[in-house]
Amino acid sequence: MNHILLVFIDGIGLGPAGEFNPFSVRALPGFEYLSGGVPFDETASEIVNSRHVFRPIDAGLGLSGLPQSGTGQASLFTGVNCVETAGRHYGPFPHSSSLPTIASHNVFSQVKSLGLNVAFANAYPPIFFEYAQKRNRWSVTTRSCLDSDTRIRTLDDLKIGQAVAADITGRRLNDHLGLQIQIRSEEEAAINLADLTYQNAFTAFEYFHTDKAGHARSWEEAEKCLWSLSSFLTSLVEETLTRGLTLVLTSDHGNLENLEIKTHTENPVPFVAIGKQATAFSDVRSLVDVVPGVLAALSS
């Protein structure tokens, strides 16, 4: 069985190198491996070979304006152009016109229809469920889980290494919620995510603190996020290649790559596929091409 891991990093684009782009002002080995050993920005060249695909892809999906999380993520996680359906870019939560598409076409349901098992790796604290249920405000990923009967993992799963904290280490859970979660290194979290990936045909992990740092225009938060992600990705790539997995990484829109502004950007977003089934993703050109690539990789 093939094993696909989708790492979705919210709000990162491939923008111009320069003083406002945290991807280009200092070395980030984990990201630079993905972009062929060069800075993770628009200067990086496209890579397409049997084990590695890297290119900028379209997040605008045919409409002008700044891409947004709701329609962008719905398009990414269904393979359907939800921007076109909504008639505009919309976020941060799914647009009402996207809900039927998420219910019927989310990637978890599509993989399950092949008779394969899936996992959403993120662990959520009790306060998340209280808030989401009270207001019925679910993100694209968690709504996809609800619609596909895919379990949303909790802190109990995190404790036994069967989930990953949204910030990778769990430190923010303690600092901001007053919890006493065991802090894991980025390397430990990567191993746990690789373990979960190996147990399933398709696994997804979402990291959203990058988008928050971009909106805040915070260099401190940007560097904290990117250093953590860089270490995490270095270990995750190693686990991917050692275990014969396939790692797929992308985003929904640009943001963090330009800290001169607090809004999203119109920059293309990165697309990466590394590992055993990377060639299944060689034709990915936009957000809506990712799910077809996942299905092709799992069907081969």
4-9/246-250 β-pairing: parallel
Indicate whether 195 pLDDT > 90.
yes
In tens, the pLDDT along 32-73 reads 999 999 999 999 999 999 999 999 999 999 999 999 999 999
Q: What is the pLDDT of residues 12-39, one digit of tens each?
A: 999 999 999 999 999 999 999 999 999 9
3-state DSSP helix/strand/coil % of the chain, to nearest 5: 45, 15, 40
- pLDDT above 90 (res 78): yes
Residue type, 245: L
In a domain, 202, yes or no: yes
**pLDDT per position as a tens digit, 211-238:** 999 999 999 999 999 999 999 999 999 9
> In which region does residue 87 sit, left (phi positive, over 0), alpha (psi from -120 to 50) or beta (all else)?
left
**pLDDT tops 90 at residue 300:** no
Query: Mind listing the pLDDT tens digit for each residue in 105-117?
Result: 999 999 999 999 9
CB 180 within 8 Å of CB 187: no
Flag whether pLDDT at 8 surpasses 90.
Answer: yes
Residue 136 in this model has a pLDDT that exceeds 90: no
pLDDT tens string 115-127: 999 999 999 999 9
Q: What is the pLDDT of residue 38?
A: 97
Cβ-contact 44, 15 below 8 angstroms: no
- Yes or no: say if 102 and 75 are a contact pair by the CB < 8 Å rule: no
Within a domain: 91: no
Residue 83 domain flag: no
pLDDT at 176 over 90: no
Question: pLDDT at position 177, please?
Answer: 85
What is the Cα–Cα distance from 246 to 102, expressed in whole angstroms?
Answer: 24
pLDDT of residue 16: 98
CA nearest to 120, candidates 133, 134, 106: 106
Please give the share of the chain, as a percent, with pLDDT higher than 70. Answer: 100
Residue 211 domain boundaries = 4-61+106-299
Sheet holding 164-165, edge to edge: 153-154, 122-124, 164-165
Question: CATH code at 219?
Answer: 3.40.720.10
181 lies in some domain: yes
- Planar angle of CA 60, 63, 65, nearest 5 degrees: 75
Asked if the model's pLDDT at residue 152 lies above 90, the reply is: yes
Region 269-284: mean pLDDT is: 99
When divided into structural domains, the chain yields a total of 1
Say if 97 falls within a structural domain. no
State the Cα–Cα distance between residues 7 and 291, nearest whole angstrom: 13
Instruction: Report H helices in 183-278.
Output: 186-199, 209-216, 219-243
**pLDDT of residue 82 exceeding 90:** yes
Asked whether residue 88 is assigned to any structural domain, the reply reads no
Kindly state whether residue 170 falls inside one of the protein's structural domains: yes
Return the beta strands (E) in the chain as ranges. Answer: 4-9, 47-49, 52-57, 118-120, 122-124, 153-154, 164-165, 202-207, 246-250, 269-275
Structure-block tokens of residue 97: 């016109």
- Helix 219-243 vs helix 209-216: crossing angle, to nearest 10: 160
- pTM metric for this prediction: 0.97
Average pLDDT score over the chain: 97
